[in-house]
Amino acid sequence: MKQPATEQTSHITVTEDGPYMVEGGVEVVNAEGQVVSAKGKVFLCRCGGSQNKPFCDGTHAKKGFAGTEVADRGPIEERREAYAGNGITVYDDRSVCSHAGECTDNLPSVWKLKSEPWIDPKGANADQIAEVVRRCPSGALSYALDDDSGTVEEHLGPAVRA
């Protein structure tokens, strides 16, 4: 029986000027929610030019893709903004947001496109806000409840989703 992917067996490597190499049987799910791969090792397009998205087809080499952009590895406390509301504080780290839209699509009274500030934590109750934050696939959003001293961050299993 095949073992499910775990953080110990799963690994994503950013190859130099090339694709993401995903190992360990991590499910790859397309934008329609369909599993398109759960193989042991797959290569995912990072240059944006593949004709077989989300998979790499070698286009990066033809177009001279330079994959030098990397995520900020500094302390999260220095990257995130805090938005205090009634009974909850929402933390937002834009540097890791995948723009999946779980927040803006599911609670637009709190997450407001094209507005500043774009988060209004008084636009819904703490339970509603926490529910939407838990859906954030990138981890850009987290929260703390006023009656608790710690930041709550949802732990999601390994997966790649478009």
Instruction: Delimit the CATH 3.30.70.20 region(s) of the chain.
Output: 76-154
Cα–Cα distances in angstroms (integers) from residue 127 to residues 108, 109, 134, 144, 147, in the given order: 15, 14, 11, 11, 13
pLDDT tens digits along 85-104: 999 999 999 988 888 899 99
Question: Where do you find CATH 3.40.5.90 in the chain?
Answer: 11-63
What confidence tens digit (pLDDT) does each residue in 49-80 have?
999 888 999 999 999 999 887 777 788 888 99
Residue range 11-63 forms a domain whose CATH class is alpha beta
State the CATH architecture for 76-154: 2-Layer Sandwich (3.30)
Q: Identify whether the C-beta of residue 124 lies closer than 8 Å to the C-beta of residue 110.
A: yes
